[in-house]
């Protein structure tokens, strides 16, 4: 089985994440005397709306536009071949000015969109761009964006339930209101530790899948150039939410590593070259 070790770690983190949701669902049923079917249906609707709005906002936030096939004929040709080899429908290709070389994918298998920055196309060679595209197509094939939205949805649901517990059990409306906000933020951050752990594992899997298609060196070389380009992060038009979807995440300190959506780029490059 491919990526057995990474899949095992994702399964553990995913199980813990599901446990958070199960506890929140049981508490919600008790607080509001709601049937299980209603709680489940509400969760599905909540995550579905989050997915649709998140996809639209990610594309809109960077001002992405459709990539003309006559202008980017070589990129379309390579994506056609990669999509066929990887067994997925060709995703919608878009281009945007992000201020730094980067790329991200949104959507799911059969309805994916890949956005690349003009800066990335100007920085990388054709083979390096193909390595990045293979990585993003792997995310689409593996339904990684759906998994991230699902995890973020669980974190939000658990936080909302925690806030209601504070509001319904307190005896001071003003104090309880502000306390509920603080508790919700803390609980959401705790759950997001496991969401981001899954995200980091999935980055390694997407790297490995891309390497299987085009070789490890083009993507490793691309990551080195992208890392150098992102040293000008202050110029980036990519916000924090979209950054979690990108091939390269922002640099972080020791504490923020727990909440990082991407593993260290040095480790990714080392794995690709080994």
Active centre residues (catalytic): 136
User: Is there a contact between 239 and 250 (Cβ–Cβ < 8 Å)?
Assistant: no
The residues with which 17 forms a beta bridge, in sequence order, are: none
In this structure, what are the phi and psi dihedrals at residue 172, rounded to the nearest 5 degrees?
A: -135, 105
- Secondary element (H or E) of residue 117: strand 111-117
Q: Which residues contact 95 (CB under 8 A, 6 or more apart)?
A: 64, 65, 66, 67, 72, 115, 116, 117, 118, 121
Q: Which residues contact 131 (CB under 8 A, 6 or more apart)?
A: 210, 214, 215, 218, 219, 220, 221, 222
Tokens of 68: 């003309």
**How far is CA 254 from its chain centroid?**
21
SS3 108: strand
Task: State the SS3 of 190-213.
Answer: HHHHHHHHHHHHHHHHHHHHHHHH
């Amino acid at each position: 089985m491919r990526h057995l070790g990474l899949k095992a770690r994702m399964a553990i983190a995913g199980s813990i994440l599901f446990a958070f949701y199960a506890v929140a669902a049981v508490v919600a049923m008790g607080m509001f005397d709601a049937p299980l079917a209603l709680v489940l249906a509400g969760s599905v609707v909540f995550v579905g709306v989050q997915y649709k709005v998140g996809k639209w906002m990610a594309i809109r936030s960077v001002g992405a536009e459709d990539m003309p096939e006559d202008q980017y004929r070589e990129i379309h040709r390579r994506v056609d071949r990669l999509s066929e080899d990887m067994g997925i429908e060709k995703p919608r290709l878009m281009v945007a000015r992000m201020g730094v070389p980067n790329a991200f994918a949104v959507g799911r298998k059969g309805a994916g969109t890949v956005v690349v920055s003009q800066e990335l196309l100007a920085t990388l060679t054709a083979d390096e761009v193909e390595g990045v595209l293979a990585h993003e197509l792997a995310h689409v094939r593996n339904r990684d964006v759906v998994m991230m939205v699902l995890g973020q949805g669980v974190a939000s649901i658990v936080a909302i339930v925690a806030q209601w517990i504070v509001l319904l059990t307190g005896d001071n409306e003003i104090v309880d209101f502000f306390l509920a906000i603080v508790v919700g933020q803390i609980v959401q951050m705790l759950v997001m530790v496991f969401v981001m752990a899954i995200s980091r594992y999935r980055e390694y899997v997407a790297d490995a899948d891309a390497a299987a298609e085009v070789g490890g060196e083009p993507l490793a070389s691309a990551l080195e150039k992208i890392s150098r380009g992102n040293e000008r992060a202050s110029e980036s038009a990519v916000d924090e939410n979209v950054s979690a979807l990108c091939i390269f995440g922002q640099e972080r300190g020791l504490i923020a590593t727990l909440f990082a959506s991407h593993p260290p780029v040095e480790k990714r490059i080392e794995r690709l070259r080994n």
